[in-house]
Chain A
Amino acid sequence: MKIASIVALIVSFFALGLGCLSLARNTFEAYPVPVLLILSVALLVLYFSARVSHLEAKRSIIIFAILSVASAIILRMLPIYLHGFSINGLIHRSMISALFLLTLSVPAVCYSLFYLLGATPGAYDISRYPLFLVPIGLVLTAYGLILFRIIVNGAPLLNWSLIAHPFQDQSWQSEIWQNGWPVWVPNTLLQIGIRNHILGTLLLMALSSLISLPIGIGVGVFVHEYAGPKMAEVIKFSTTALRAISGIVLVVILLNLTRFASNHLHGTIFEKIIKGFGYYSGGSLVLGNSSFLIASIFISLLIIPIIARVTEEGLNSMPRDIVEGSVAMGASKEHTLLRLLLPWSFPNIITGLVLGCAEAAGTLTVIFLVAGNGQLGVNPLSETTSLAYLIYDCQFGNQLGDTVQRYMGPYQFTAAFVLLAITIGLTVIALIMKNKIAKRYKGA
């Protein structure tokens, strides 16, 4: 029995590893058909040896054995590349074999563990672990690989001069006057750096939390304290709907605003606010660089629902009898709200704010059509820029010329690394703050 279960364990682990490898590399496919057949044989041996040694023999083992034979046959029949009029593109067969191997090897591992540990109820509990450990392991590995790639490619290029200087170039659009004639200047690089991108990310986070925090908390408090049941339902529904709107829809509104500004608000302060200082349209509509202020307002539209929801949940989580105790002491509604309910929901609000800031730092949907390279400095009215946009720009380029892509391309992992550091640092600070406040107000 023991030998059979050890053999089955080894075979199913081999199948599991093979499945993971096929998943990891697109076209990797090493003998899935024989492996599946061996797996089914091992399962059958497991079943019959369990019957011979008078242990509880699970009928479902046979089902899995049959399934693995069936999937081996299906794999044998499939062509190497799948394509057709219902599939846009090509799928290599290894994808399917990875699917079969993973779905069949995980239960096989469970069964062999069950018999290896003696087929007791305790062994049954332990033998279920692979069912959730394998997916968790896969996801963690994926995250780990991404992190590893960012750190290995990004960290060595990080130095002080990169952080301390803004990126500057002379793009093909600009002209200088020489001897009374305009001269087009070709792409030239003046300075490599990500200072403006970092500052822009921070400014975006700060501005959008500044806008969304009071409004979000206000909405949460209103829904919880002042709105009637019907009103509360309507508000909750609309905040959820706002959250569900994709950022790309907001971009459409933003573009229309920019067009409106360039057509009708020329030369006024509103044009500066909507478009930023550096926008140069020259009569034709260029997908345009909005200011930090406008970008923050639009990002706030994404954050406000989060903050409103967490605030309301925090307020709801306060036990009813404590609120009653406050009312019974003659405290006014406002006093109860400010001194009791809001401090209680601070930890929730901080969590919401961190989520919102991460959204502001990493969001691309709103600003990737409206951002610039930040040559013009960082202030609320300048054109938007952020690390997220830099990464996008390095990868996919922009319409106005490829200086950024050419010169900043090697630094995209560094930018991702810095963005990651900012987000993680923020989360850590928020966690510490949250714990301190929770200790103070909840006595936990």
Chain B
Amino acid sequence: MKTAFKVLLAVVVVLATPALALAQNYQPVEGRVRESIPAAPFLAAAYAFMWVAVVVYVVLVARRLGRVQSDIEELRRRLEREAGR
């Protein structure tokens, strides 16, 4: 039992040593540090997305309108034929 405890303790020490060494790699810096994310691609992506969404919507509405108007013309022709019989 004592041997097992000693082995366990040794394993913990062996594993903890590199962890402590890694933790000591975090060094404080003086002054204000900001994460540098390039803003221009985000700005361009936001602007492009907005206009693509609006243009897609306008195209979809225009296509639906075209279909409905052709259906209306077709029905008018059929109604005129019915009235002529």
Q: Is B one of A's binding partners?
A: no
B-side interface residues toward A, CB under 8 Å? none
